[in-house]
Amino acid sequence: MTRPVVGIIGNSALLYDEYPVHTGGVMNSSAVADVAGCMPLIIPSDPSLVSVAELLDLCDGFLLTGGRPNVHPQEYGEDPTPAHGEFDRERDNVALGLVRACVERGQPFLGVCRGFQEVNVAMGGTLYPEIRELPGRMNHRMPPDGTLEEKFELRHQVRFSEGGVFHRLMGAKEVMTNTLHGQGIKTAGKNIVIDGHAPDGTPEAIYVEGATGFTLAVQWHPEYNAAQDPVSRALFTAFGDAARSWKCGARSTSRVA
């Protein structure tokens, strides 16, 4: 039996400062292939090249990756400011509709960092442009210098709701995670359940209540060291199982038994 296909939502970038490319981190593909047990397929996130309908037919699940550009605040009714940083309107136009379609169909997705924020915005939620500027919040951004290992090191705890989806999935109420984001959830979208928080109250783990498919999303980057880290491994294994169920014609649930 062939592996389920997981579409990895790509990011736009410039190679050599002038050649446009669609990119996907190797660690995303490795986590999908080696831990989830699926075939990774990088999706060019440009609505002039792909459609949501085609992607739904082609793929069994989707990994909504992290990325430097942020969701444009017009998507949640606010004006852009310098604090909102860079944008990728093409990705917005693919990913947000894709999230809503997956929720409606029960097709699985896993949201990571920007992908976590896309899930919230797609469901009608809003974002803070810069978490570290809020009273009582820590700096969730990655260190500006250092090795890749130092940037992705485990830096804070995430506490899950007692008996909730993530608590059951992880087999633990608290886990350690990395943190490499500037923005965060301001108001939760429709049916978005915030199931895990950082020590400063920042939302870190969500799912869509009432959805028939796997709709988990996390604010950290579980793709890093996914095969060795028990938190990442549990998340990608469950996502892979959901993609296999979809491929076989079953409607899996986002609620982990």
From 217, 211, 222, 205, select the one nearest 246 (Cα to Cα).
Answer: 211
Give the pLDDT of residue 255: 46
The single residue of 75, 102, 113, 118 carrying the catalytic annotation is: 113
Alpha-carbon distance of 11 to 66, in angstroms, equals 9
- Overall average pLDDT of the 104-119 stretch: 97
Q: Name residue, tokens 């995303």.
A: 28
Catalytic residue check, 221: yes
The single residue of 72, 140, 167, 221 carrying the catalytic annotation is: 221
Q: What is the reported pTM?
A: 0.94
The single residue of 75, 130, 204, 223 carrying the catalytic annotation is: 223
Give the pLDDT of residue 8: 97
- Overall average pLDDT of the 130-140 stretch: 90
From 82, 80, 90, select the one nearest 13 (Cα to Cα).
Answer: 90
Give the pLDDT of residue 34: 98
Give the pLDDT of residue 250: 59
- Token pair for residue 33? 């292939």
Strands 109-112 and 217-218: parallel
Residue 92 near residue 137 (C-beta atoms within 8 A): no
Catalytic residue check, 204: no
Residue 35 near residue 226 (C-beta atoms within 8 A): yes
pLDDT band at 144 (very low <50, low <70, confident <90, very high): confident
Average model confidence (pLDDT) across the chain: 93
- Overall average pLDDT of the 75-96 stretch: 90
- Overall average pLDDT of the 68-90 stretch: 89
Q: What is the pLDDT of residues 186-227, one digit of tens each?
A: 999 999 999 999 999 999 999 999 999 999 999 999 999 999
Q: How many percent of the chain have pLDDT more than 70?
A: 97
Q: What is the pLDDT of residues 19-62, one digit of tens each?
A: 998 989 999 999 999 999 999 999 999 999 999 999 999 999 99
DSSP string for 129-160: S-GGGSTT----SPPSSS-HHHHTS--EEEEE
Catalytic residue check, 113: yes
The one-character DSSP state at 3 is P
Give the pLDDT of residue 253: 46
Q: How many percent of the chain have pLDDT more than 90?
A: 81
- Overall average pLDDT of the 164-187 stretch: 96
